[in-house]
Structure 1
Amino acid sequence: MNIEKIETYRIAIPLHTPFKTALRTVTVAESIVVKVTCDDAIIGWGEAPPTHVITGYSLASIEFAINGIMKPLIVGESLLNRERVFEKIHQSAVGNSSAKAALDMALYDCIAQHANMSLANFLGGYNDTIETDYTVSVNSPEEMATDAEKYIDNGFTALKVKVGKDLIETDVKRIEAIRKQIGPDALIRLDANQGWKAKEAVRAIRKMEDLGLNIELIEQPVKAHDIEGLQYVTDHTDTPIMADESVFSPNDAKRVLESGAADMINIKLMKAGGIHQALKIAKLADVYGVECMVGSMIETKIGITAAAHFAASQPNVTRYDFDAPLMLSGDVIAGGGVTYRGKSIEIGSKPGLGIDTIDRQFAVK
């Protein structure tokens, strides 16, 4: 089971509605798609979107890292020695987590197909079906409340609400308007995308607690490097705090967990460098009794299928943020992958990622 060929190409799919956070606005989902072919004719798929403001990588840098650095190191290697292959990828370059992730998920797809198991089962097999939240982009309080009501009416029971773009008093008004519009039962998760400072975050969260807005968790309230600030927010509020951009690697997770800087961790394959490293983060968090969310960037169903298989395999992954494919105007997977039924995502039992064919109409020529 040797790696015979690695190919990449670019894709672009418009979003049906702009995706707005404190860090960026996205109207088109761009990605590098990776195709790995083994000498036994097994084909594996992966992808990596450029997310400059979070990971720092562009389409060009991802392409070069895969084709110019990693491919020469692993073509011809046997996936039966997968630890050696993943070690080569991990040590091939500093950073480059998105490129590593795209290659990693394609290789895991091949390995699980060889084992004749779905990737979720190969990794542990904990859940067959999971439920995603849906993201409310940052806009005016009135527009966000209207969007939130629409998503609840569409059957979603958990909303991930973007804040942190402007005045913190406006963020409180946004959440007040949303809670009033959707009622008391739906879950509200806030994501500040590093948009607050520690003391103002505490002030805002306490205000929302006093107003009884019933926030399930707050994700990454402060800058990624500000672990002390993250710990300050965690220590001075009752609402659970989740680290996202503060945790790329297992070493980052170790620092956050040892210091008690956050109550939960959001694992993303594009930050971690793929499933191999993401498993280490999840297992380390489990040792500390910490639950995780698995989320994504603005990815197509290729990347989300890989992330969903990983997430479904781990018992301490209890929350899922996989709405990105629902925001796109098309599906790059022409057959197979995970299946969406409203908020529910069925993992499926086909070997590997279960991807049958890829629609090349989205390829950028």
Structure 2
Amino acid sequence: MFITDIQTSHQTVLLKKPFKTALRTTDHAQAVIVQVFASNGMIGLGEAVPTLAITGENVEGIEATILQIIKPALLGRNILNYESIFHLLHKTSVRNTSAKAAVDMAIYDLLAQFHHLPLYQFLGGEAPEGDELQIETDYTVSVNSPEEMSEDALEYVSEGFRILKVKVGKDDIEKDILRIKGIRDQIGPSVKIRVDANQGWQAKEAIRAITTMEDMGLNLDIVEQPVAAHDISGLKRVTENVLTPIMADEAVFSTLDAFEVLKQRAADFINIKLMKSGGIYKASIINHFAEECGVQCMVGSMIESHLAVTAAAHFAASKRNITRYDFDAPLMLVEKVIEGGITYNSNMITISNEPGLGIRSMKEDRRTVREAHK
């Protein structure tokens, strides 16, 4: 089974509500869709999202990397020799992690299809007895006024979500504390709150804010990336001086980033995202590093569609050390642009047992994607 072609297309979908964090605000989701064609007629699908504020990539750069650098390197390669293919993929360029992630997803999709397995099983996950696999996602509350965030939080809880990821870090830290208190007062004690500062705090103020919220009894499940990505010593300082577990996100892109955070014991958890790691192959190594060090992981996403999040969900569901899931992005879109893949019932995600990613068609041309190139 050899790679015969790699093609890309663009996709833009509006969000139901603007997504706001300490790093950026957006009202739409952009993506580059990748199709990898194999000599046996199969097609693998992947998605790359441009997130300049995090990965430094835009649509044009992603497409150029895939078509001008990755494609020439991989054409004619035997997909079944995937260890060498993934090694070559990551040697083609420095960074460009979203572009690599899209190609990585598509190759894994092909491999699982070839073996007639859903991707999570190909990756070593266990299928439940007589049923489809399910995992639970949180839902993100964008950073706005404390009043609007409390209203949003109550709405999401009324829709069935039991875990909220609350964005802070955009302005005054005292207002951030009010945001979390207002949400806790609205939703009650039983719903989990994960706070994500997206690098918006300094180490000293992060310690003060978190300890204040602890003293107020706000009962935080986790605080994610409280300080700048490069500030590993600051991250470690926060971790060592609060009771609430601290999660590294933007601080961990590569396997070497993960190694450094784990070596220094700078965080209690690691958030793995395929767009940061460059795909499932490298994400698996990061998870193995963390598991050996006794550190659990979460898998999350950028503002991605069902395609990319389906790949991330299959990966996450296949690893016992991954215990938290942040896969709400497709629920923020005004429409679903694929047929197949993961499905949602409020906070619960069902992962299909169809081969590969289980994606049957793309909405753009209504043709069955896996047959369109035959």
Q: TM-score, normalised by structure 2?
A: 0.96
- Could you tell me which residue of structure 1 aligns to residue 24 of structure 2? 24
**Unmatched runs of 5 consecutive residues or more in structure 1:** none
For 1:262-277, list aligned pairs within 5 A. Answer: 262-277=267-282
- Could you tell me which residue of structure 2 aligns to residue 136 of structure 1? 141
Give how far 1:203 is off.
0.3
For 1:165-176, list aligned pairs within 5 A. Answer: 165-176=170-181
Indicate whether 1:183 and 2:188 are aligned. yes
8 Å CA contact 1:32, 1:59 repeated in 2? yes
Give how far 1:217 is off.
0.3
Indicate whether 1:350 and 2:354 are aligned. yes
- Paired letter, 1:136: V
Distance 1:341 1:79 in 2: 35
- Could you tell me which residue of structure 1 aligns to residue 263 of structure 2? 258
Indicate whether 1:197 and 2:211 are aligned. no
Distance 2:256 2:118 in 1: 29
Give how far 1:80 is off.
1.1
Distance 1:250 1:351 in 2: 29
- Could you tell me which residue of structure 1 aligns to residue 130 of structure 2? none
Distance 1:134 1:120 in 2: 23
Give how far 1:361 is off.
6.5
Give how far 1:126 is off.
4.0
Out of 234, 237, 250, the position equivalent to 2:242 is 237
Indicate whether 1:46 and 2:46 are aligned. yes
1:121-178 Cα offsets, whole Å, 9 max, x none, are 0001146211000000000111000000000000000000000000000000000000
SS of corresponding position for 1:76: coil
- Paired letter, 1:267: I
1:218-261 Cα offsets, whole Å, 9 max, x none, are 00000000000000000000000000000001111010011000
- Paired letter, 1:338: I
8 Å CA contact 1:126, 1:315 repeated in 2? no
Distance 1:249 1:67 in 2: 23
Distance 2:186 2:169 in 1: 21
For 1:54-65, list aligned pairs within 5 A. Answer: 54-65=54-65
Distance 1:56 1:42 in 2: 32
Number of residue pairs matched by the alignment: 361
Distance 2:273 2:226 in 1: 17
8 Å CA contact 1:132, 1:322 repeated in 2? yes
1:311-351 Cα offsets, whole Å, 9 max, x none, are 00000100000000000011111x21011111111111100
Distance 2:22 2:64 in 1: 29
**Unmatched runs of 5 consecutive residues or more in structure 2:** 128-132, 367-374
Indicate whether 1:211 and 2:216 are aligned. yes
Q: TM-score, normalised by structure 1?
A: 0.98
Identical-residue share of aligned pairs (%): 56
8 Å CA contact 1:126, 1:314 repeated in 2? no
Distance 1:52 1:142 in 2: 30
